[in-house]
Amino acid sequence: MAEGRKLLLQLDIIGCAGSYPAPHSACSSYLVRSGMTSILFDAGNGSQTNLYSHIDPADLDAIVISHGHSDHFADLVGIYHYLKYASAPKSPISIFAPEDVFDKLKYLLKPGLLDSTIFALNPTRPNSEAVVNNISLRFFEANHPVPTLITRISDGNSTMCYGADGDVNEHLEAASEGVDLLLGESTWVERGKSFPKGLHLDARSLALLARGANVKSVVITHIAFPADKIKILEIVRQNYSGNPELAREGSVFHF
């Protein structure tokens, strides 16, 4: 890197299917890097297979699990087993997640079998902060049926919001305010009459969120198969003047 050149945050899409795996797509998992720091956000079912193409899990500095639904959490178990029996990390990997995620992890690994040399568990609540090397994390409360973390991410040069799952609330608006990139869900094309509030976003609500929060660019993720991705992208473009793009497995974004 040339002297004085600004570091860019990098977002790698490891998996982006919503609620359950889709054809050619694992569930939610995203790798954020800045300089030598690498943080994995969520480890949904099927995503570990793709993760190896981007990084050895042993080289992760931290993992953030937004909530305990399987499409965001399930492969944390596989990552643990890989680290335990195949490629141990140099130091315990910090895991930030709501406390109920750790309850599920301990249950799946059986009581007493969670090796503290592999994972360092950090039960995380909204309105808290953490620092991982040169990346700062600020956590907000999502509007979702289970405890769910929204994360605002910054390396001092660029900012990003990972909205995870959940309907619009004041916390998602605050976490998204002015960010360079919003990684936001559009589980649905449109909100049907039978779709409950306090669960997920549709395309128009994501666009209005991004517009109201002065977001510079949006990456649309967590689309539930077989929803029409192109239609979702069109709706977002109609209601938001920034730069929306669809998340696709293997895509890389710099900002």
- pLDDT of 253 reads 97
State percent of the chain over pLDDT 70.
96
Q: pLDDT at residue 1 above 50?
A: no
Q: Is residue 184 assigned to a domain? A: yes
Rounded to whole angstroms, the Cα distance separating 43 from 21 reads 12
Rounded to whole angstroms, the Cα distance separating 143 from 211 reads 19
Listing DSSP states for 196-252 in one string gives PSSS--BHHHHHHHHHHTT-SEEEEE-BPTTS-HHHHHHHHHHH--SEEEE--TT-E
Q: Is residue 88 assigned to a domain? A: yes
Q: Count structural domains, the chain.
A: 1
Q: What is the DSSP letter of 127?
A: T
- The pTM of this model reads 0.95
CATH number of the domain encompassing residue 175: 3.60.15.10
* Coil/strand/helix, residue 77: helix
Rounded to whole angstroms, the Cα distance separating 58 from 79 reads 9
Per-residue pLDDT of 98-156, as tens digits, reads 999 999 999 998 766 789 999 999 999 999 999 999 999 999 999 999 999 999 999 99
The parent domain of residue 95 ranges over: 10-254
- 213 with 178: CB under 8 angstroms? yes
- pLDDT of 242 reads 94
Per-residue pLDDT of 79-103, as tens digits, reads 999 999 999 999 999 999 999 999 9
Q: Is residue 125 assigned to a domain? A: yes
Q: Is residue 1 assigned to a domain? A: no
Q: Is residue 3 assigned to a domain? A: no
- pLDDT of 198 reads 82
